[in-house]
Structure 1
């Protein structure tokens, strides 16, 4: 089919792009300093290193002539759109970020944003340590869970020795707060 009869636009690709973690309506984008610095570093890397390199490749590929069958040009342009989309996302997230320093928490006897909490499953006694962090810095394998996750919401304002219940995908769970730290 002739390319003139196909619809190609950036909007089409953005619809299929994986969506970023959404914040609940009317809430702030809380982040730890480490999370903010990580996103800022990624933005700087994209702006100062990756994007200029891809622009150089696309420019070189465009100078080779016929662009319709030029793989370097086609895939370079696609990568450039992906980079630009990520840059826009990072800028929006960083602009709306509210950086919270866990070390400055006044009420260290309760669980709040940034707390590192050791919890024990009441049923099997398994202990786990998690840190409550921002939506953009979650990493379950490292024990960093979002403040909007069901387990985090259940833990908020709890004290050492408290038991909390929450609905998990596997059903109701009950956890005991063993230790609260702010690092």
Structure 2
């Protein structure tokens, strides 16, 4: 039985774009680099050749991984869900730290598309698990390594 991997439509599009770049740009470039390195003669001591072959291995591995992930993906459009104001997969939330009043905005996404630099947190992360099912105005308690942290759920939005 294969497991379905939840993805937002935007996350699936980012993965497809990466796959497209790898297959249409990076794969041909590394093949050309290998061909050029072969022309330099003895392959045993040809560092350019070995580096290009290693890069080719990484590219091919990533292509296979992306293809597998996309084939098992279940695209969930948060804009079409009707969660009644509760935090669910795909929701964008605004959290306020109770101690500092600092506000942060996060989108709850699948494991494959999580990127904290882009404020996308995984559905399986402790923070997302603490927020699931809560509504704006609720308090979210997170058990962090430094102790419990409290947040107020300021806003919940759903966008495609």
TM-score (norm 1): 0.80
CA distance in 2, matches of 1:84, 1:110: 41
Specify every segment of 5 or more residues in structure 2 that has no aligned partner in the other structure, as ranges: none
Give the 5 Å matches for 1:1-183: 28-183=4-159
CA distance in 2, matches of 1:39, 1:74: 28
Shift of residue 42, structure 1, vs aligned partner: 0.7
CA distance in 1, matches of 2:3, 2:57: 29
- 8 Å CA contact 1:108, 1:180 repeated in 2: no
- 8 Å CA contact 2:3, 2:72 repeated in 1: no
CA distance in 1, matches of 2:70, 2:62: 12
Aligned-pair Cα RMSD in Å: 1.6
Higher normalized contact order (CA 8 Å, seq sep 6+, divided by chain length): 2
Greater Cα shift, 165-174 or 95-104:
165-174
- 8 Å CA contact 1:108, 1:181 repeated in 2: no
* Partner residue, 1:11: none
Shift of residue 122, structure 1, vs aligned partner: 2.0
TM-score (norm 2): 0.91
CA distance in 2, matches of 1:62, 1:88: 26
Shift of residue 60, structure 1, vs aligned partner: 2.6
